[in-house]
Amino acid sequence: MTDNNVIQFPLKERIQQIEDELEFEREEFEAFIEECQDTSQVILLMIEELLMNDAGSFEEMDFRDNILPEAKDMFVIVNLISSMLMRYGGSNHFLHDYFDVLYEKIMEAKE
């Protein structure tokens, strides 16, 4: 039997097509993650503005000094928001398991 009877599959072209598709998906995923992070940063700015301008008791809060407790709290909150947005979009984040546990604990405490 000779190789002339074998139909050649365009293997190299298919491999390149798969690699291109994976690259596109990776870029799309990275863009979505960046959007989640950017959105959570915008929300941080909105919270800061609200507290600094409209709430007299909280106008001295500083979310930018990493030594201060409120800055540490806000860092966690911003990451929680980003993680929530990622979950909504179907992307996994290590905080999701903690969300589920915290939700159950809060619901128990509420009762």
pLDDT digits (tens, 9 = 90+) for 97-107: 999 999 999 99
| H-assigned helices in the chain | 11-54, 69-88, 96-110
Residue 2 lies in a domain: no
What pLDDT score was predicted for residue 6?
73
Provide the domain count of the chain.
Answer: 1
Structural domain harbouring 54: 12-110
Low-confidence ranges of the chain (pLDDT < 70): 1-3, 54-55
Residue 71 lies in a domain: yes
Within a domain: residue 7?
A: no
pLDDT at 2: 56
Note whether 87 and 96 are within 8 A (CB): yes
Residue 3's pLDDT is: 61
